[in-house]
Amino acid sequence: MSPQPDAHGSHGSEGSRGADGSDGSDWGEEVYRSLPGLGIRHVATVPDAGLGRFLELCEADAGIRLITLTTEEEGIALACGTWLGGELAAVAIQSSGVGNIVNMLALPNVCRIPCLLLVSMRGEAEERNPWQVPVGCAVPDLLAALGVDVFRPEAPSGVASAFVEAAARAREAGRPAAVLVSQRIIGAKSFAGGD
């Protein structure tokens, strides 16, 4: 059964065991392991520590092309081009970069191109950087308003299944879908040098 949208138009995802029976505590590895089954061989990213494990695994895999971007908009363009070449790509970014893709999301929406986003959230629980809060709070509603199906897993064990479901939804609907990985799952970012 598909998760139902919450007040923000987001789809929750129940915590569950991974396909390999793990408890899902290494969600980055579980998302990485889902890539071959989804036919994803291209991952575009503006690197972020919250996505670190996932990105490390992608970088170490000769079968995955990890493309480091200079700005998040490039990821949307790359995902659209990859789809025109016959494959779904993933774009992995931090929530603070969602503001940079607002105009570019018109491309996959108007052209009916599936685009899969994996977004590490900032500005939520335990955020120590007040500059992250306004955009972090706006991201779910902003993406939903732009026609992006939003998935919000509740636990680490639900991230990979949300990612797989988001990929299916993107393909089915011919538009972007995003998995927002909350700070409760990632953990608060720490800064060297104390408070």
Does the pLDDT value for residue 5 go beyond 50? no
Does the pLDDT value for residue 6 go beyond 80? no
Tokens of 67: 């493309």
Interval 91-116 mean pLDDT:
97
Q: Which pLDDT value is given to residue 25?
A: 60
- To the nearest 10°, the Cα dihedral for 141, 142, 146, 151? -50
pTM: predicted TM-score of the whole model, two decimal places? 0.85
The 10s digit of each residue's pLDDT in 37-51 is 999 999 999 999 999
| More confident of the two residues 52 and 125 | 52
Mean pLDDT, the chain, integer: 87
The 10s digit of each residue's pLDDT in 58-78 is 999 999 999 999 999 999 999
Interval 78-86 mean pLDDT:
98
What residues contact residue 177 under an 8 Å CB cut-off, 6+ apart? 114, 115, 116, 117, 148, 149, 150, 151, 166, 167, 169, 170
Q: Which pLDDT value is given to residue 192?
A: 53
The 10s digit of each residue's pLDDT in 145-178 is 999 999 999 999 999 999 999 999 999 999 999 9
Structural domains in the chain plus CATH codes: 24-121+128-144+154-178 (3.40.50.970)
- Percentage of the chain with pLDDT > 90? 73
| More confident of the two residues 76 and 19 | 76
**CA-based end-to-end distance of the chain:** 44
C-beta of residue 187 within 8 angstroms of C-beta of residue 128: no
Does the pLDDT value for residue 110 go beyond 70? yes
Does the pLDDT value for residue 18 go beyond 60? no
Q: Which pLDDT value is given to residue 133?
A: 79
